[in-house]
Chains A and B, each alone.
Chain A
Amino acid sequence: MTERLDVAVVGAGIIGSATAYYLAARGLSVAVFDREYVTAGATGRCPGGIRQQWSTEDNVRLMMKSVEIYEGLSEELGAEIDFHQGGYLIVAKTEEERRRFEDQMRMQRSLGLPVRWLEPGEIKEMVPQLDVEGIGAIGAAWNPTDGYANPFKVTYAFASAARRLGAEFHLFTPVRRVVVEGGSVSGVETDKGFFGAEFVVNSAGAWSREIAETAGVSLPNRPYRHEILATEPVRRFLEPMVISFHDNVYFRQSHAGAILGGWGDPNEPPGYNLSSSPKFLGRFSRLLISYVPGLRSVRVVRQWAGLYDVTPDAKQIVGEVPEVAGFIQANGFSGHGFMAGPITAKLVAQLISGEPLDLPIEGFSIERFRRGETGREASVVG
């Protein structure tokens, strides 16, 4: 490799693959490096939810833009991605939650999101199998334009489109070091040798902190295991994604009929543990059955875990770090990378090619932690 790349992207998940696509579409030379394969990390382990109901305005705006992209993505990339807007039903169990949701819905509506409050009877009407009384739901926040897509199909569609436009994917090729010379990135040192690059995008998910460290950049991100399972397929009965911040639980039904869902253990320590636990299997199964008693006779067929790349305010880090020119972060998504992926990747491509940005990204800068100006995203689940 003698020619210098415009951009080296670290990580072939949704962020890296989509970034490669938007960069290649702008005529830039780009190569993606992954120590494993496309979707090997959190992308291939996530349930594929796409939500716009957030507690902070910048996240609502970002996710609304992302949904705009998702709506036309199948056509743009020429591939089926199973995108489906069945809505997100966020169950409220306490009066405190109801008040918080009402405040948030006011803000979300002011930004144009068609979100509204559902009374228990309306929830029942929407999903008759949900045991509304049993779980003690007093209502729900409902946004019909939320939904899901298939993370594998989306990411492979981005990667294939990027390849068609000339992007290279170096899989099973770990990046050992981001090389910095005179305050600017000069490329990446990999198991296949050195690749010179004008820009390096760090989209390595839960391993982003380690990648950044090789360039002398310190990120506040921490990896947290989140477990998830899938049942055998049953006839479709569940249109929306159902979530509860109170129970820290989410579940949806896949195109093929499987129920996919997870529960976040509040006592999970940070670390790279990717094993499946019997505790999760038991806790989540019990929770799921309390929400949908009919699932009691439906078998679990798979269980796995992935890593959230969590920042102190549960918001992503996007943009160039001031101490190393050309070193762009696109990580720290804290469990929301799939839904934020397309728009984030597009913003990164706009940033690198010097175009005006679709949305301001100052709020996602690493500098906010250094200045102590964080506005915590409260609507985190799983």
Chain B
Amino acid sequence: MARRIWDHPILDFERGEPLKLIFEGREITAYPGESVAAALVAEGVDILGWSKLRGRPRGFFCGIGKCSSCLMVVDGIPNTRTCVTPVSPGMRVSRQRGPPPIPDVVPEFDLEREEVDLAILGGGPAGLSAAIAAADLGASVLLVDENFRPGGQLIKQTHKFFGSRENYAGVRGIEIARRLLSEVGGLGARWVLRSSAVADYPTGSGHRIVVRRPGGATLVDARAVIVGTGASENMLAFPNNDLPGVYGAGGLQTLMNVFGVLPGERALVIGAGNVGLIVAYQLLQAGARVEAVVEIMPRIGGYFVHAAKIRRMGVPILLRHTISRVLGRERVEGAEVVAVDDSWRAVEGSERTFDVDMVVLAVGLTPSVRIPAQAGADMIYVPQLGGHVPVHTPRLLTTLDGMYVAGDSSGIEEATTAMLEGRIAGAAAASDLGYAPDRAERVISEAQRQLESFRSGPFSSRVLEGKEMVWEKAREVIG
């Protein structure tokens, strides 16, 4: 099965020497730097496991360790998230049917301790910018990321960013990630990769954070913490929405643009916001056909330029339509689309079947806010921001002393605003810890000015409405 992309108009996949995994007794080819799940999909393994209750097949969906569709037994350890686990030679991988048995082998487990001024949870655009701002002002910084490749969603963004020159307008996301990562490295920030911050216990004078990593855990005692944990993809309810071949848009971007794996030939994209439009274009770049982009609203949600680009390439955008079901038993073999009326009900007789092997869901994101919620920060439900978010001030301080939030975990927006929020949060944390407060305040007000200008466009009006609600609540609670 030839699913690996070798020629791409923008991306260069340097693959190195192939290696072998042992997948349920047979050898599978993988390349260094691939995730286990990506390598399996590349080799034609679409079913990565079966649901616990009904035993339904499950496939690659989110690709960033959130959805639990790809849990497998890896070298004897059950429930391993194979989408954020890198391949290594001779690795033994098998799928799970029902809850896995506890292993006979007792793995090593070592406990480490770290002390740091500022712990940053999430190495995406918000976390990286926060790290740069804080480290530049003199704070010691430790970054925690679940992935083995840091950079968050930037590392799969092949398109050029909009906005102002000072915020990387005209630069591709992958290039922005490279620049931010090298800047973070230059400032001496430390990393804990392939690791999840699983709990934050406020101690009164700071935060004790439990970080689960391969082979053990690290207890991080941080004077302050910035939550830049991003978001997870929304699901849509329709029959067979869990079949392998239904991908989250970000998950498919990870497969195509990070690992160079195109898992099908013909796609249907659900949602004509920016993410849906961009992923449709990226599918075309990767060599797939896009049969249609389907949007339930009467208008396109994303930027006009993104829509125009795919229309020019012959992709129809079906407004006032939605997916009604996916066809297939073990994986996607087709999809049915219906028109909807003014009250969002399916129009009888309007069913159309598309012969596709990929269905890509670009139907929004939900902030990942488990850590602030668990630690006891006040939360607020704001539909304009994608769901529950921690109450926070314009300086991104939550209702917990020393805890800040930035990027999508403070409300769904975009990478440019995530970077600006990260800069504000990083500078605010450093300033509140006593590092170069005068300089920090200048960084904050400059970033706030740029943020305000970026948010002045019509696309940001909903977000601003949501942020106003959050700030008002913060004024009530924090003062």
Contacts and interface: CB of A to CB of B under 8 A. Distances in A.
Given A278-B208, A299-B212, A234 B201 contact: no
Interface in A214-265: 232-237, 256-257
Interface in B361-381: 374, 376
B100 A235 contact: yes
Given A278-B201, A281-B210, A235 B376 contact: no
Interface in A28-80: none
B79 interface: yes
Q: Tell me what chain B mostly uses at the interface: helix, strand, loop, or mixed.
A: loop
A300 interface: yes
A297 interface: yes
B304 interface: no
A234 B106 contact: no
A278 B210 contact: yes
Given A297-B107, A299-B79, A235 B99 contact: yes
B188 interface: no
A121 B77 CA distance: 28
B199 interface: yes
Contact of A294 (B106, B210, B219): B106
B52 interface: yes
A235 B374 CA distance: 27
Interface string B287-327: 00000000000000000000000000000000000000000
Interface residues of B, number: 24
Q: Tell me what chain A mostly uses at the interface: helix, strand, loop, or mixed.
A: loop
Contacts of A365: none
A235 B97 CA distance: 10
Contacts of B163: none
Given A293-B106, A297-B77, A298-B78, A234 B100 contact: yes
B55 interface: no
B98 to A, nearest CB: 7
Contacts of A276: 199, 201, 374
Interface in A282-340: 292-300, 303
A4 B78 CA distance: 58
Contact of A234 (B99, B198, B208): B99
A296 B107 contact: yes
Given A298-B78, A299-B79, A277 B201 contact: yes
Contacts of A293: 106
B102 A129 contact: yes
Interface string B72-114: 0000111100000000000000000011111110110100000
Interface residues of A, number: 24
B271 to A, nearest CB: 30
Given A275-B376, A297-B107, A300-B198, A237 B102 contact: yes
Contacts of B77: 297
Contacts of B76: 297
Contacts of B52: 233, 256
Contacts of B78: 234, 297-298
Contacts of B99: 233-236, 256-257
Contacts of B79: 232, 298-299
B393 to A, nearest CB: 24
A278 B111 CA distance: 14
Interface string B182-219: 00000000000000001101000000101010000001
A125 to B, nearest CB: 18
Nearest to B106: A293
Nearest to A292: B102
Nearest to B79: A232
Contacts of A257: 99
B201 A235 contact: no
Contacts of A292: 102
A323 to B, nearest CB: 40
A294 B106 CA distance: 6
A362 B199 CA distance: 47
A8 to B, nearest CB: 33
Contacts of B219: 278
Given A232-B79, A294-B104, A296-B109, A281 B199 contact: yes
A299 B79 CA distance: 9
Interface in B227-244: none
Interface in A181-229: none
A236 B106 CA distance: 18
Contacts of B374: 276
B278 to A, nearest CB: 34
Contacts of B199: 276, 278, 281, 303
A187 B201 CA distance: 42
A303 B375 CA distance: 11
A235 B208 contact: no
A48 B107 CA distance: 31
Nearest to B107: A297
A234 B212 contact: no
A294 B78 CA distance: 11
A379 B208 CA distance: 35
A34 to B, nearest CB: 23
Contacts of B104: 294
A92 to B, nearest CB: 25
Interface in B341-396: 374, 376
B102 A295 contact: yes
Nearest to B68: A232
A278 B199 CA distance: 9
A296 B212 contact: no
A28 B445 CA distance: 67
A298 B102 contact: yes
Contacts of A294: 102-104, 106
Contacts of A236: 99
B101 A235 contact: yes
A294 B208 CA distance: 27
Interface in A108-167: 129
Contacts of B210: 278, 281
A281 B201 CA distance: 11
Contacts of B106: 293-294, 296-297
A251 to B, nearest CB: 13
Nearest to A238: B102
B103 A297 contact: yes
Contacts of B103: 294, 297
Nearest to B212: A299
9 tightest CB-CB pairs across the interface, nearest first?
Answer: A294-B102, A257-B99, A233-B99, A235-B101, A278-B201, A293-B106, A297-B77, A235-B99, A234-B102
Given A275-B376, A297-B102, 6 more contacts: A233-B52, A233-B99, A278-B208, A293-B106, A298-B79, A303-B199
Interface of B: 52, 76-79, 98-104, 106-107, 109, 198-199, 201, 208, 210, 212, 219, 374, 376
6 contacts: A234-B99, A235-B101, A256-B52, A295-B102, A297-B78, A300-B198
